[in-house]
């Protein structure tokens, strides 16, 4: 089993390039199902989750030529619409094939995603919306069986909660539906915008892209043609994670290939902690605070502060100069990193969905365990400033969503090595 061994105390310097966004690439790969011709994707992140979803497409009969950061996918050869448990249980985002398979083929069977460390993460809103579009949904033996033999019908969908995956599934389902679908209370994340742009570029009329109200004019069952290659947008969470690395180690580092608009919430909070920034067209340099100030965070949907940055900021707050408060509003169990950070010497207390982070003078290396993707990166950040050596186990969580994290940190001067035990 791989682990990361990190010796804390090094200053970082230099620059790295941010990879394509995992959470944009996943719906884009799923959306290729809407076409029966070749689609070219570029700037894919080289991470496990992308390889898993592409493996799933292969199992459905897709022809995929996948190199590290590019893929040419032809779904003209799909001969199965069953997404099996073995794959879906590895990655819950596989549920994003539900909408495209159903709207293209009129029926599909997708395993219910398994549980997840950060919360129950139900898909009730996805299923309710598809039923409103005329699908017959049955849950049996751990599978969602969906049928719409005459195709899906445009409908008015009001989401009780803002759901990124739910919005993405319905946008894809609506693309080939008969008539217009309106989604009210839609997610506005940049990853949702990229998906809408990709489908719109293929000729589907979508109004309201980037807003909470989307209107999609379906093709009535006609598959799409994606003429131009889709270049995945930069990963705003990866970028935010490395900005936190600069802040916590009090280092000046530069990130290339970022979209500054997408990371405004993280920039704003790091500025409130005393950091400053120099920005060029698509790069950003962090000038660290001499003395990190405490921070108060409430996670919310985009463009608010992202839940996927909560753990990383908690690590930075641990060594700031006062008490910080972090309220997690999106997931019911996204504080698994707290007990691990406390093993490194942090002093964090939980009350319901709020964490109080009391500052400590120093952290000390220990053996810690990653529990989920973003928690893992928070432990790595803390290890960069802990005295001595830290061992971060179960880093398969990290490999799902960070492209060569130890390589990028090493190139900045961190003492970090991947080992096996
Ligand atoms: C996406 O997950 C991201 N994953 C998550 O990133 C991210 O944390 C999340 O959005 C919120 O921004 C991908 O894009 C692949 P949601 P998703 O549906 O779509 C509840 C990472 O670290 N809900 O917006 O699953 C749900 O339980 C991952 O990269 C329902 O109740 O998130 C949650 O509390 C972690 N019923 C809230 O809504 C539903 O049918 C937001 O979930 C759907 C969701």
The segments of the chain whose pLDDT lies below 70 read 115
Tell me, using a 6 A CB cutoff, whether residue 160 lines ligand 1.
no
Q: Whole-angstrom Cα distance, residue 315 to residue 319?
A: 8
Q: What pTM value is reported for the model?
A: 0.97
> Of all protein residues, whose CA lies closest to atom 43 belonging to ligand 1?
123
Q: 161: Cβ below 6 Å to ligand 1?
A: yes
> 108, 116, 196, 275: which one is catalytic?
116
Centre of ligand 1 from the C-alpha of residue 365, in Å: 32
185 CB under 6 A from ligand 1? no
pLDDT of the residue at 222: 97
**Tokens matching residue 318:** 């641990």
119 torsion bin: left (phi>0), alpha (psi -120 to 50), beta (else): left
The per-residue pLDDT for range 94-122, each reduced to its tens digit, is 999 999 999 999 999 999 987 677 888 88
CA 48 distance to own-chain centroid: 13
164 CA → ligand 1 middle, Å: 6
| pLDDT tens sequence across 116-162 | 778 888 899 999 999 999 999 999 999 999 999 999 999 999 999 99
**Is 244 labeled as catalytic in the residue annotation?**
no
SS3 assignment, position 291: coil
Please name the helix (run of DSSP H) or strand (run of DSSP E) that holds residue 56, with its range, or none: helix 48-60
Close Cβ partners of 128 (under 8 Å, ≥ 6 residues apart): none
Indicate whether residue 312 lines ligand 1 (CB < 6 A). no
pLDDT of 120 reads 81
Q: Which atom of ligand 1 is nearest to the CA of 121?
A: 27
DSSP structural state of residue 228: S
Q: Phi first, then psi: what are they for 362, rounded to 5°?
A: -150, 165
């Amino acid at each position: 089993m791989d682990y990361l061994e990190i010796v804390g105390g090094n200053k970082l310097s230099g620059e790295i390039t941010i990879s394509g966004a995992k959470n944009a690439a996943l719906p884009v790969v799923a959306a290729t199902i809407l076409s029966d011709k070749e689609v070219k994707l570029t700037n894919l992140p080289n991470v496990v989750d992308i390889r898993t979803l592409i493996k799933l497409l292969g199992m459905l009969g897709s022809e995929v030529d996948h190199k590290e950061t590019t893929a040419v996918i032809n779904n003209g050869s799909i001969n199965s619409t069953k997404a099996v448990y073995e794959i879906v249980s590895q990655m819950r985002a596989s549920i994003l094939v539900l909408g495209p398979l159903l709207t293209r083929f009129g029926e599909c069977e997708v395993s219910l995603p398994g549980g997840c460390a950060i919360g129950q993460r139900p898909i009730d809103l996805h299923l309710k919306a598809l039923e409103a579009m005329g699908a017959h949904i049955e849950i049996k033996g751990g599978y969602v069986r969906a049928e719409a033999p005459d195709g899906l019908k445009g409908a008015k969908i009001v989401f009780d909660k803002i759901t990124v995956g739910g919005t993405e599934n319905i946008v894809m389902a609506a693309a080939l539906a008969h008539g217009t679908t309106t989604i009210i209370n839609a997610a506005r994340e940049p990853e949702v915008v990229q998906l809408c742009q990709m489908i719109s570029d293929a000729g589907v009329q979508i109004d309201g892209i980037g807003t909470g109200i989307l209107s999609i004019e379906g093709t009535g069952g006609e598959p799409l043609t994606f003429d131009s290659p889709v270049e995945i947008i930069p990963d705003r969470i990866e970028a935010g994670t490395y900005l936190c690395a600069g802040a916590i180690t009090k280092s000046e580092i530069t990130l290339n290939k970022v979209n500054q608009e997408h990371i405004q919430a993280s920039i704003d909070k790091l500025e409130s902690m005393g950091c400053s920034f120099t920005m060029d067209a698509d790069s950003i340099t962090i000038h660290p605070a001499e003395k990190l100030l405490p921070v108060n965070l409430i996670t919310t949907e985009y463009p608010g502060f992202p839940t996927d940055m909560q753990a990383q900021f908690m690590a930075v707050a641990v060594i700031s100069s006062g008490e910080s408060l972090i309220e997690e509003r999106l997931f019911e169990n996204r504080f698994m990193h707290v007990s691990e950070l406390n093993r490194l010497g942090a002093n964090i207390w939980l009350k319901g969905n709020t964490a109080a982070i009391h500052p400590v003078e120093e952290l000390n290396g220990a053996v810690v365990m990653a529990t989920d993707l973003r928690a893992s990166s928070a432990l790595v950040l803390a290890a960069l400033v802990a005295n001595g050596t830290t061992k971060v186990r179960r880093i398969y969580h990290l490999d799902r969503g960070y492209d060569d994290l130890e390589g990028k940190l090493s190139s900045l001067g961190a003492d970090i090595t991947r080992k096996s035990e």
